[in-house]
Amino acid sequence: MLTNKKIVLAVSGGIAAYKAAALTSKLVQAGAEVRVIMTESALQFVGSTTFQALSRQPVYTDTFKEQDPRYIQHIDIADWADMFLIAPATANSIGKLANGIADDMLSTTLLATEAPVYIAPAMNVHMYSHPAVVENMQKLDKWGFRFIEPGEGYLACGYVGKGRLEDPETIVALLDKEAAQSQVLKGKKVLITAGPTREKIDPVRFFTNPSTGKMGYALARQARALGAEVTLVSGPVSLAAPSDVEKVEVETAEDMYKAVTERYAESNIVIKSAAVADYRPKQVFDQKMKKSPGDYFVEMERTKDILQHLGDHKTGQYLVGFAAETNDVEEYGREKLRKKNLDAIVINNVSEEGSGFGHDTNQSIYLTKTGRRLELPMMSKDEMARKVLLEIASAVAGDFV
């Protein structure tokens, strides 16, 4: 699956840089086109000529040494990449990426790329467990960067423990698997809803909920990474639209109903992760309401049940819902799965610390109407999105069996 894949291999300054030479060779043998970026520190361990010979491509070491005056090289390489691999990834390179520092060829290119980034750490065992390094890795994991865990064994510093760069053969096998997964939704049209809705009471007040859209945006990002054509119908959030995703902005439950139903017939997979208001004010005022003595009561009316409508009008779509519960979560989730005629449901216990609205992490139970049950422990929302989408892709490939 790596044939003709464009891979940027970033080599940072650790003794494990020598393994990156073997990694370059194996990637090329697997059919990939490899371009190597080396930090100044990496050059202290292995010369650029080695990587140039193995990759049969120029090696990039200096942001200001432009090899082709027609292009800005760090932008050109960032756009060129299908995959971006940092191996070895030192504590310094991880720290720069986690904190948005761009002071050399590697760090500037990393900030510019939209390709999936794989990080293969290699460092002393105590450095690997240092709170600053751990925090940086956790931050990157939450942002959707993918880590290739280091192995355990004898380290160059003399210690024995975790911190050894994973073997080149294992890294190539992992990238090959990732490349295969990048095609599992190719040709599929995926419609995803995200975020909250707002139901106005007057021009300056509205009812809403705490949804930030993070889960829905992670689903859109990962669906695109798996090869799908993605439409994201989003309520008001502060998130940037994922690249190569059609974003449709809506405000109210009625807006979302119209946007989704207009696109439903042409969709293969529909994932409704938005937190849509169940009720709206029955009367909406054209002018700002003024304070007056005593209490004020707002009469509410039901909004349209979008998920129920979609379940009642399926014509072959694979329909996935989300349930945010605080008690009896699986029982309520199973009832929603049945009642709404869903193919699958993701059940979130939003009362759990680190799970649900506003968090970068989530834990859920994934259920299907065919009886599949999958526990999804606490993980980043991007990682969860990918696992859910791979489950959906498998079901769709098997015609929902």
Question: Annotated active-site positions, please?
Answer: 157
- E runs forming strands in 39-194: 59-60, 83-89, 117-121, 146-147, 151-154, 160-164, 189-194
Instruction: List 191's β-bridge partners, or say none.
Output: 231, 270
**What is the C-alpha separation between 316 and 123, in angstroms, rounded?**
50
Q: Is the N-terminal amide bond of 242 cis, ω within 30° of 0? A: no
Q: Find out whether 249 and 171 touch, Cβ atoms under 8 Å.
A: no
Tokens of 35: 């371009």
Q: For residue 197, give the nearest of 243, 258, 242, 240 by alpha carbon.
A: 258
Tokens of 69: 């005056």
Residue 42 burial (CB count, 10 A): 26
Q: What is the DSSP track for 109-121?
A: HHHH--S-EEEEE
CB-side neighbour CA atoms (13 Å) of 97: 34
CA distance to 62, 80, 318, per residue, from 73 (Å): 10, 10, 43
